[in-house]
Amino acid sequence: MPFPFHINILDLLLKGVAIGILVSAPMGPVGVLCVQRTLNKGRWFGFVTGIGACVSDFIYALITGLGMSFVMDFISNSHYRYILQISASIVLMIFGIYSFRSNPMKKVHVSNRGTKGSLIHNCITAFLVTFSNPLIIMLMMGLFAQFAFIIPNHPAEMCAGYIGIIGGAMLWWYGLTWLVDKIRAVFDTNGIQIINKVVGSIVIVMSIIVLIGTVFNLYTLPTINY
């Protein structure tokens, strides 16, 4: 029937958008680089920096999805679903605490104001910075499990989901560069740390809610019909 099919695609699309935003939002090295380039070189240099990060995140999302699709048979068992949900909640909570407590400015070099470079160069360097951190897969595994994102043997829905991840990431980088450009006169390193604390708090609260719901059987991964 066509109606449930479209609802499933919309559901995966919205989940993908949420995952794309949550993966991009923590202000790691590439996030700080994006802010620096926006302030020093202009908004579009900051935005293409985000695009480079988005390409890297998309590749890691495909790798994560491919790997998780091989173990989805275990999730049909309620015991394994329970373990997966608990593990994902703990991973996300640890990540949220790390994001809340971290100061991304400590390990970041200040951008050179004298040379802008091309937009392509800025995009490629951001891609390399992001791709050099494979730990992002751990975050994606937690988010994929929390959102029940992987649906094997449903390519149309999964394509929509991955498009959503790209859209969510692009939305975050576009919004961040727009905001930084608008308030560039007052935006400083404290703003970067505030973003990190807000994102970390959201992830912590989300993981605690799902963890409590799972422990008390209030929330479980849905059963997938192949």
Question: pLDDT tens digits for 129-170?
Answer: 889 888 788 888 888 887 878 887 778 888 999 999 999 999
Residue 122 predicted with pLDDT over 70: yes
| pLDDT given for residue 53 in this prediction | 94
**Residue 17 confidence (pLDDT):** 94
User: Predicted confidence band at 5 (pLDDT cuts at 50, 70, 90)?
Assistant: very low
Q: Does residue 3 have a pLDDT over 60?
A: no
Higher pLDDT, 122 or 107: 122
| CA atoms 154, 160, 166, 172: torsion sign | negative
Q: Would the pLDDT of 117 be above 80?
A: no
Backbone angles phi, psi at 117, to 5 degrees: 75, 175
Distance CA 142, CA 8 (A): 21
Output the pTM of the full model.
0.81
> Six-digit token pair at 37?
């380039």
Alpha-carbon gap, residue 178 to 46, rounded angstroms: 9
**Which residues, 6+ apart, have CB-to-CB distance to 61 below 8 Å?**
19, 23, 140, 162, 165
Q: Which residue has the higher pLDDT, 209 or 122?
A: 122
